[in-house]
Structure 1
């Protein structure tokens, strides 16, 4: 994964009184693209893909409220609140044109929610190993459990090492090529987990989705997919064939749930193909964005 951590180009934008961390790159008059990361992650997950896409497009990545280095908003964390925050961010940046939204994992759920609640703001959606297409999820609660125990007097030595190893294993599971789980990655994740709003945001978000203890609940998934499919917004579903977090059978479920969607399965890639297959990813989604814009101009 290309660094640096944290990215020096990131800045902070006030969104309804909540400071959200954001990175904006590319020409000001370029086609706007919004990149949304997964649960417990940050905008750095898009580093290389953003650089590639921003050659001739206006690309925005952000830390969701309460994750990364963004502060938590006043709303209960979850897809509706995150979706509204993305609208607020676009408003704050003065972006009125419909944007091409790309979401990885939890970010895919946010992207679909944004499209459902504010269809006029969305030109297309690219779902990257997205939540919403199955109940299985492999996000271990152990790092936070051990971390909480390590914070208690006298238990740091006993549980601190376990928290670090559990967290490291979770990061390794993100990739097909585990050499991408570098020391820099571990340090960055550790810093994110120590941010003031992280724990409450993680647990609150997981509770609304039903993960990781009982698996992702069906109710909200079915309703969101029904409403999202009804928007008719162009969609591209991509996945890694060795995803250990959201298994590839979710890709098959996505293709079935969204029969009009374009699809692509990356070979030898895990939960974040935008990292492991950055150049191929950028070429594919860039071509999709261009095609959507060409089709809309004809209409």
Structure 2
């Protein structure tokens, strides 16, 4: 049975992409002489390698926002081309890995959920002024390549191997990993495989265990949703879609079911009619099949020795607070945040609160939220 733990593409819904030119030190309005002066103010070249004269922490101690900005922009100009702002595709483990880079600051790799949904719904523009966000289209989705065994073979283990191989191929030093829904399973597995080399985890709408009564509990929540909204078109569509899960065999059927299920994934779909309509219109899903194994990392999480932020929405019917509490209890360096007015999409339903929680966790509070 497929696990419906992620159901949206919201490209453009929560902010437009920033063009690469806007992220560079040199704009079309800046003279060559001013560019040279700015570069000399924040960088030096030693043995052909450009280095910053001041670490970010030193800029912060001096209280100079302008100097900090120049430092980050200087780093941006000399970053490897595979991590330059924009859209890229590189070969990883024999599969084309498509991704988008946007922002400034420490690296944070975002892995979407599903399985079978690309990264467009998970854009986090409020984080991009403080973090360099790297949004992966998971293999088999979006513009990324497919496995030779497609649609079979898309296990959590295979996704995690791809993620770790991408980090190595792109040369990303100590990234944060942010995984949503099924993507949270992937980043947890990646952290278990690689105890070192990661800065931290943002486990967003995840779980440590999907066996036992997991699907029965989700079915009960769906029944409760249908009862609360009895007689509405949304309730009828949700009930019909949930019942169709065992029979789904095509991308079209998968997409149709996820579109119909969207109201149940939100805290209150009536508060967001335009958002819901946009999600349903733009959602395209790819049917991916894993290994049929229950996800269970309960007895392994004690070995994860990096800080973790565990977040979810109060009204997330399938991966809500109960699952977050278990994760926070089992992860040695975990903190937890529950968003009271959110379902499965807190980054959309409570965008500012979600961004603030992540920025505080990464030690960069407030920069992206000024003026909002």
TM-score scaled by structure 1? 0.74
Q: Distance between the aligned counterparts of 2:332 and 2:168, measured in 1?
A: 32
Q: Distance between the aligned counterparts of 1:174 and 1:79, measured in 2?
A: 22
Query: What runs of 5+ residues in structure 1 fail to find an aligned partner?
Result: 152-159, 209-216, 292-299
Out of 79, 87, 108, which is 2:164 matched to?
A: 87
Q: Distance between the aligned counterparts of 2:121 and 2:181, measured in 1?
A: 11
The total of aligned residue pairs comes to: 253
Structure with larger RCO (C-alpha < 8 A, sep 6+): 1
CA deviation profile, 1:258-289 (whole Å, cap 9, x unmatched): 36411111011001212211211111111111
Relative distance call for 1:251 and 1:57 in structure 2 (3 A) is closer
Q: Are the equivalent residues in 1 in contact too, given 2:110–2:178 (CA < 8 A)?
A: yes
Q: Distance between the aligned counterparts of 1:60 and 1:127, measured in 2?
A: 16
Aligned: 1:185 with 2:279: yes
Structure with the greater alpha carbon radius of gyration: 2
TM-score scaled by structure 2? 0.61
Q: Distance between the aligned counterparts of 1:63 and 1:269, measured in 2?
A: 24
Aligned: 1:173 with 2:264: yes
Match of 1:115 in 2: 191
- What displacement does 1:106 show? 0.9
Q: Are the equivalent residues in 1 in contact too, given 2:313–2:321 (CA < 8 A)?
A: yes
Q: Are the equivalent residues in 1 in contact too, given 2:304–2:331 (CA < 8 A)?
A: no
Aligned: 1:239 with 2:312: yes
Out of 59, 74, 90, which is 2:133 matched to?
A: 59
Structural RMSD (CA)? 2.9
- What displacement does 1:85 show? 0.7
Out of 12, 15, 23, which is 2:92 matched to?
A: 15
Out of 291, 295, 301, which is 1:228 matched to?
A: 301
Q: Distance between the aligned counterparts of 1:116 and 1:146, measured in 2?
A: 32
Relative distance call for 1:17 and 1:164 in structure 2 (3 A) is closer
Out of 305, 312, 324, which is 1:251 matched to?
A: 324
Aligned: 1:36 with 2:111: yes
Report the 3-state secondary structure (helix = DSSP H, G, I; strand = E; otherwise coil) of the residue aligned with 1:173: helix
Alignment of 1:251-290 (within 5 A): 251-258=324-331, 260-290=333-363
Report the 3-state secondary structure (helix = DSSP H, G, I; strand = E; otherwise coil) of the residue aligned with 2:126: helix
Report the 3-state secondary structure (helix = DSSP H, G, I; strand = E; otherwise coil) of the residue aligned with 2:363: helix
